[in-house]
Amino acid sequence: MAEIKPKPINKTPEPTLRRLPWYLAYLKIMHTKETSVVSSTQIAGAIGIDASQVAKDLSYVDISGKTRVGYEVDQLIEVLELFLGFNRKHKAIIFGAGSLGKALILDSGLNNYGLEIVAGFDVRADLIGTTINGISIYHPDECGSLRGTLDAEIGILTVPPDKAQEVTNIMVDGGLKAIWNFTPFRVKVPENIVLQDTSLFSHLAVIFNSLNQADL
C-alpha cells in the first residue's frame, strides 16, 4: 500500500479553533501534575462539554488517540501549539497606544502565545518617540516607510471608535493581512483581510445585563 497521505485541506471551523486553546490550557495543567495520558472524556469532563465534541475537534489536529487509552499529554500539547501557531512568532503592530493599547503592549501573555508586537503608532505628541515595554511608538505617518522594516502581518486596533475605520483603511493599504479590532466600532475590511473583533464592552454589557436580571 502506498504511504502517501494527501494533506487534508479541510478548513477548521471557528468554534473548534476557539475550543482548542481550552484543551491546551487543561493539558498544560495536566503536564504540571505529571499526568502522561488523558482521554477525550477526561478533557470533556474538565471543560464541561461533550466528549464527542472534544474528539471531533481533535480530529482536525494531526494526532490520533489510542482507543481506550487516550492521548499522550506532552505530544498533544506540542501538536496543538504547532497547529494553533502559538509556538512561532506572528509580528503585529498596534495602532493607538492609549490606555488599552498600552495595556496590550505590557501584556507578556500574548507574546507567550505567539503574538509579537513590534511597534506602536499614535498621534499623541507626548507618546511619539517614547518606548513602552521596549516597543517604540511612532507617528502613523511613518507607518508606510516602516512597513518593510517591521514586516508585520497583524494590525491591532485600539484607537478611539471614531478613528477606527480610518485607521483600519491605513492598515489595509499598508499591507497588513489581519486586523484585531478592540474598539466597539464595527470596521469594514476587504474580503481577503482577516478580521477578528474582541469587544470588551460587549462582554461588559452581557455581564451587567445578567446581573440586573438576577436582581429582578
Q: Site residues (CB under 8 A) for a second copy?
A: 9, 11-12, 14, 17-22, 24-26, 28-29, 32, 46-48, 84-86, 90, 99-100, 102-104, 106-110, 113-115, 153-154, 161-162, 177-178, 180, 183-186, 188, 192, 194, 196, 198-214, 216
CA-based Rg of the chain, rounded to a whole angstrom?
21
Residue pair 167/183 in contact (Cβ under 8 Å)? The answer is no
To a second copy, the closest distance from the beta carbon of 127 in angstroms equals 14
Q: Which long-range contacts (CB under 8 A, 24 or more apart) does 199-208 make?
A: 200/100
Q: Which residues of 34-61 are buried (b: 16+ CB within 10 A; e: fewer)?
A: eeebbbbebbbebeeeeeebbeebbebb
Residue (69 or 205) nearer to a second copy, CB: 205
To a second copy, the closest distance from the beta carbon of 143 in angstroms equals 19
To a second copy, the closest distance from the beta carbon of 1 in angstroms equals 27
Residue (64 or 192) nearer to a second copy, CB: 192
Residue (144 or 184) nearer to a second copy, CB: 184
Label residue 190 exposed, middle or buried (CB < 10 Å: 0-12, 13-18, 19+): exposed
Take residue 79 and report the three cell numbers written for it. 501538536
Residue (7 or 68) nearer to a second copy, CB: 7
To a second copy, the closest distance from the beta carbon of 106 in angstroms equals 5
Is the four-CA dihedral 55, 83, 31, 107 of positive or negative sign?
Answer: negative
Residue (136 or 199) nearer to a second copy, CB: 199
For 88-152, the DSSP string reads: S-EEEEEE--SHHHHHHHH-HHHHHTTEEEEEEE---TTTTT-EETTEEEE-GGGHHHHHHHH--
SS3 content of the chain, % helix, strand, coil (to 5): 45, 15, 35
To a second copy, the closest distance from the beta carbon of 79 in angstroms equals 14
Residue (69 or 206) nearer to a second copy, CB: 206
To a second copy, the closest distance from the beta carbon of 68 in angstroms equals 25
